[in-house]
Amino acid sequence: MMPQPFIDWKAHVRAKLPPLITAAERESEIVDELALQLEATYERERRRGASHDDAMAAAASEVPDWPAFARSVRTIERPFAPPPVAGDRSGGIMTGLVQDIRYAIRALRRAPGFAAVSILTLALGISATTVVYSIVDGILLRPLPIANPDRVMLARELSPAFTDMGLSWPNYLDWAARQTSFETFAAWSGATANLTGIERPRRLNVRRVTANLLTALGVKVALGRDFTADDDKWGVERTAIVSRGFWQRELGGSADAIGRRVMLDESPVTVIGVLPRGFTVAREEDIFLPLGTYLDPDNAGIMLRGNHSSLAAIGRLRNGVTVEAATAEIKGIARQLEQEYPNTNSGNGATVRPLFETLVSTARPMLYVLLGAVTAMLLIACVNLANLMLARAAGRAQEMAVRRSLGAARWRIGRQMLTESVLLAVAGGAAGVALAYAGFGAIVALLPANQPRIHLIAIDSRVLFAAAVASLGTGVLFGLMPAIQAATGRSMTLLRSARVTGLGHAGAGTRRALLLAEVALALVLVTGAGLMLRTMANLAAIDTGFTREQLVTAQFNLPARYDQAKRQLFLDQSIERLRAIPGVTKAAFGYSIPVAGSNWNSIFTIEGQPVPERSKLPSSAWIPVSPEYFDTMGIRLIQGRLFDGRDLPGAPAAVIVNETFARRFFGNNNPVGTRVKQGWPEDSGPFSPWREIIGVVNDVRMNSLQGDPTLQAYLPIRQVGQRSGAFVVRASTSAATLGRSIEAAVQEIDPNLPLFNIQTMDQIIDGAIGNERLTMVLLMGFASLALLMAAIGVFGVTAYSVSQRTHELGIRMALGANRGSVLALVLRQELGACLAGIAIGIVGAFFLASLLESLLFGVTARDAATLSVAAVVLIAVTVCACLLPAYRATRVDPVTALRLD
Amino acid sequence: MFHTYMAQTDISTRSLQKGSAEFLLLSILDGPDRHGYELAQIIEARSGGKLSFKAATLYPLLYKLEKQGWVSGRWVEKAGERRRRFYRLTAGGRKVLGARRRVWREFVEALDQVARIRHA
């Protein structure tokens, strides 16, 4: 005999049996009895030799009409009617609630399709909200961990060439001495340092600060002491205040860490304090160091008024002083300095902005776009949920009517419906948070690595709380609508008409309005995604000026023990070792890495050309490179020659310029042979020689992918010498796996030298357009889901509406309407809402586009083509979603339709 | 007996069944306790397949009889078997059955006298 397939008869019965509205225990007894009977019938038939299918059919014939069966049992069991039906108030709210929940669970288990779609819809909406909110919260919403953060300003300089420029040290001193707006006026400068004396040397983020910085921020050390003026001057032994993380990682987290010495850039530094837990400003800083200990009076560079490094002033406003007043004062001081030091300061102004603002301003447009998009996405999910609920309510109208006629209070039925939707919200929210956890890492990794406060992004209690509020809010808000409908319906009318008309046209109208909103929101998202897609395509099509594939870069910073001769030897040996790594074809040195940004920008003059006034002097990127650089990068020579063995110290100083440089200053003439000088017109001496242009190379995207090409001037490293920079390595195979070999090769030469920012060029470029990429990826995801949900929504509403109109359509067809005209009728009426939604969506898309503007490249925010394509996509999707139910309408048999009465 | 009568009619049994279904169940339960499936089996066997009570008819009827207090059901668990619900006639049910039997007997006799439905 054939093996018996296992059949769970109880589950079978539960799936078929509509709610009996009786006590749970009684209902389960009835299920048991029926299951036994069906099983016995099935087995009897099998024993008689019937096939599985025939035996199943025999079992099915036991109860040919489940709803009718349920109705007859309900009528008999009526006196048993449980609290949700009887509106029993004796059991107290809690008992009622528990019963409601139990009942809701059972009801949802009986409608697994409805429950699954609802939970999935909510889960998608909530997961998107959770991830986006975690990013917005980390970057934008979390307050700075300092006292009264809105009173702390950051001030820098600006010039005609640069809208934001580091403050020069002498200018800072003058600002500090003359200002009266700030109670404390400190300065800081971001830097890095090598931590040595440990097993594997590593690169640290450090911040060089004036002794009063923590006072300005209103932060107290958690352990040890703050800097004093005595720590903050040249020549004293260097002290350090370390982050809590560094204290725990490197110093064992013990109190006797105070006074310990660590080796930074190969010189000892004494730890005097530990920062409080959670204290971070822009990035995760490991160590604060006194700025004064770097101000070598013999180091010409840093003490120059014209030298703008990465210094910024940090001031805390005095009570009663406004941001505007402080800004006006600092700008006034900058004007005084302009007059006092015209050679260095002419044209230089000042910017004063709240510190928090400087950290979040670049990310703000993207975050607003994402917030807008995710709100739209959540709303769409809500609309779908509401539609599902309404449809379900319509399907259960009769059940509700029976309950009402059995004496259930209106509020009781409403509460029951609400319990169901809250239950769905909880399940959907939980699933959404789980989804968010799963996708969180991959999405946050798309953010640019240098995004301030990126380390604060996390799915933590704040974010989870927001997710919970969002899911419950959604559940309650959209569960309320069908609950109200269920509670207000008239029981007798419903009882009579429920079978035929469901909730009637009021419900259908609400659903159509929701549909309109859904289509509008979907159009907004699809348009946004389209604009970002075109932006990314335009960005990808940009000619970077070099071959980006299979290129690895690794940065380093040589310690003080390297003099000029040792540095050159280090570079030569490193490049040789790097080239010897299997899979590496070329290697070179470059002071700045394309796209990542130029590390050295300076004004210059051209021999034989008029010198403009000081504030209008042109500025170029100056990039010392090794001779192999151009070949390694794939940068083409256009005129003249590249650097070679001739360009040694002592030989005539040489420079190679880019095409933009040549075209701007020489037009169509050949610039080769002309001389240029970096620095002020009056500068002279070994640091500002006249350099002869020996060649012209193609433009490279230096500071970003977007924007016009900048002026670029390359110098031979042998004639300049640099302490820091980057190796660029060209691989013949996959570049991504070379990082360890590159570090190992360099550490064969200097084991104490950490390499940092080891990245492929692709990673650097991806990082540079991280905001755009993240926006595109999320908008694409949201838009796809929005389209899917809109399609489901349109389909559902149309199918529902057609089913409601079977009678009317039957009459029309009986009166001679042909199928084509019925199809047209349904399409016209159902598509009306969609088209209205699309029209509203176009208005919404304009609104989103204005938010999106700053992220777009090569396409305008109101691009007609994108908008048209988005509208066509929406129309196509809605037409398809309408078509199936509309077609079904044409299959209505007039006779059957009429008999429904 | 009774099933002989049913077997020899060829009028639609449906309306008769409806009125007589309660009587049938009460009669069968005037003996050992039976569970639902057994009841259906007995009816089918005794009527030679002419009468069959599907679950959809049987259980609402049983529940109704139970609600009226004429039969009582109880769950019985036997080793190695799933629990089943056995029904038995209550004292009230027995009274009702006695009354119904009288009515039916009189009815059938009256029919017989008029229509000679019984040959033997």
| Contact at CB, B85 and A65, closer than 8 angstroms | no
Question: At A411, is the secondary structure helix, strand, or coil?
Answer: helix
Q: Which residue of A has its CA nearest to B85?
A: A33
Q: What are phi and psi of A656, to 5 degrees?
A: -115, 130
Cβ-defined contact of B63 to A29 (cutoff 8 Å): no
| DSSP code per residue over B28-87 | HHSSS-EEHHHHHHHHHHHTTTS----HHHHHHHHHHHHHTTSEEEEEE--TTS--EEEE
Average pLDDT over residues A306-325: 91
Q: Which of A23-27, A466-470, A666-670, B24-28 has the lowest mean pLDDT?
A: A23-27
**A180 or A191, greater pLDDT:** A180
Q: Is B84 inside any structural domain?
A: yes
Question: What is residue A208's DSSP assignment?
Answer: E
- Band (pLDDT 50/70/90 cuts) for residue B15 is very low
Minimal-distance CA residue of chain A relative to B83: A32
CB contact under 8 A, B55 and A40: no
Residues of B in contact with A76 (CB under 8 A): 60, 63-64, 67
**Which residues is A606 bridged to in the sheet?**
A676
Q: Report which of residues B17 and B11 the model is more confident about.
A: B17
pLDDT value of position A79: 52
* B84 has a chain A CB within 8 A of its CB: yes
Q: Which two tokens stand for residue A537?
A: 């395509």
Tens-digit pLDDT profile for residues A696-705: 999 999 888 8
- Mutation test of the interface with chain A: which of B39, B59, B75, B78, choosing the one with the most A Cβ atoms within 10 A? B59
Cα A452 to Cα A138: distance, rounded to the nearest angstrom? 10
**Which residues in chain A touch residue B40, judged by CB atoms under 8 angstroms apart?**
37
User: For residues A851 and A329, which has the higher predicted lDDT (pLDDT)?
Assistant: A329
Residues 6 or more apart whose Cβ sits within 8 Å of residue A600 = A591, A592, A621, A622, A623
Query: Average per-residue pLDDT in chain A?
Result: 84
pLDDT at A86: 38
Contacting residues of A for B37, CB less than 8 Å apart: 36-37, 40-41
| Nearest residue of B to residue A31, measured between CA atoms | B59
- Is residue B18 a part of any domain in this protein? yes
Chain B positions touching A18 (Cβ under 8 A) are none
Residues in B closer than 8 angstroms to A58, CB to CB, are: none
Percent of chain A scoring above 70 in pLDDT: 91
Give the distance, in angstroms, between the CA of residue B42 and the centroid of all CA atoms in the same chain: 9
| Neighbouring residues of A475: CB distance < 8 A, sequence distance ≥ 6 | A122, A421, A422, A423, A424, A425, A426, A428, A429
ipTM, two decimals, is 0.82
Alpha-carbon span A317 to A728, nearest angstrom? 45
Nearest CA distance, B16 vs chain A (angstrom):
20
Evaluate whether residue B120 is within a structural domain: no
pLDDT at position B7 over 50: no
| Cβ-defined contact of B59 to A36 (cutoff 8 Å) | no
**Interface mutation target, options A26, A30, A76, A78, chain B, most CBs of B under 10 Å:** A76
- For residue B31, the distance in angstroms to the closest alpha carbon of chain A comes to 21
pLDDT of residue A897: 61
Closest C-alpha among A693, A608, A621, A681 to residue A653: A693
H helices present in A608-649, as ranges: 629-633
pLDDT in tens, A672-695: 999 999 988 888 777 788 999 999
Domain limits for position B26: 2-115
| Least confident piece of the model among A90-94, A173-177, B23-27 | A90-94
Report which secondary-structure segment, H or E, holds A194: strand A182-196
What is the average per-residue pLDDT within A66-93? 62
Cβ-based contacts of A40 with chain B (< 8 Å): 37
Task: Name which residue leads in pLDDT, A588 or B69.
Answer: A588
pLDDT of residue B118: 61
Closest-approach residue (CA) in chain A for B87: A33
Select from A36, A65, A73 the Cβ nearest to the Cβ of B63: A73
Sheet of B71-76: strand order equals B34-35, B84-89, B71-76
CB pairs under 8 A between A and B: 49
Identify all chain A residues contacting B75, using CB atoms and an 8 Å cutoff: 29
Q: What pLDDT, in 10s, does the model give residues A208-256?
A: 999 999 999 999 999 999 999 999 988 899 999 999 988 988 888 888 8
pLDDT at A94: 62
Q: Of the candidates A32, A62, A76, which has its C-beta nearest B63's C-beta?
A: A76
The tally of domains found in chain B comes to 1
CA distance A57 to chain B (A): 13
**Predicted local distance difference test score (pLDDT) of residue A100:** 79
Span A143-166, average pLDDT: 86
| Nearest chain A residue to B84, by CA | A33
pLDDT in the model for residue A395 = 67
Mark yes or no for CB contact A77/B67 under 8 Å: yes
Name the E strands within A414-468: none
pLDDT tier, A284 (very low <50, low <70, confident <90, very high otherwise): confident
Name the percent of chain A in helix, strand, coil, to the closest 5: 55, 15, 30
> Smallest CA–CA separation between B4 and chain A, in Å?
25
Q: Which residues in chain B touch residue A32, judged by CB atoms under 8 angstroms apart?
A: 83, 85
Question: Is residue A63 a contact partner of residue A34, using CB atoms and an 8 Å limit?
Answer: yes
Give backbone dihedrals phi and psi of A757, rounded to 5 degrees, phi first: 50, 45
Q: What is the pLDDT of residue A211?
A: 94
Average pLDDT over residues A20-42: 85
Residue B78 sits at the chain A interface (C-beta within 8 Å): no
Q: Is A600 exposed, middle or buried (0-12, 13-18, 19+ CB in 10 A)?
A: middle
Which residues are CB-contacts of A850 (< 8 A; sequence separation ≥ 6)? Answer: A861
Q: What is the pLDDT of residue A485?
A: 65
The predicted structure's pLDDT at residue A890: 77
Chain A interface residues facing chain B, Cβ-Cβ under 8 Å? 29-30, 32-34, 36-38, 40-41, 61-65, 68-69, 72-73, 76-77, 79
Segment B42-53, tens digit of pLDDT: 888 888 877 778
What CATH number is attached to the domain comprising B56? 1.10.10.10
Q: Compare CB distances from B55 to A34, A68, A77 and report the shortest one's residue.
A: A34
| Other beta carbons within 10 Å of A430 | 17
- Helix locations, A552-656, DSSP H: 564-580, 629-633
Q: Please give, rounded to a whole number of angstroms, the shortest distance from the CA of A776 to a CA of chain B.
A: 58
Of A33, A64, A77, the CB nearest to B56: A64
A12 pLDDT more than 80: yes
Which B residues 17-76 touch A at CB under 8 Å? 35-37, 40, 54-56, 58-60, 63-64, 67, 75
From the list B55, B75, B83, which residue is nearest A62 (CB)? B55
| Residue A338, pLDDT above cutoff 80 | yes
Residue of B nearest to A40 (CA): B37
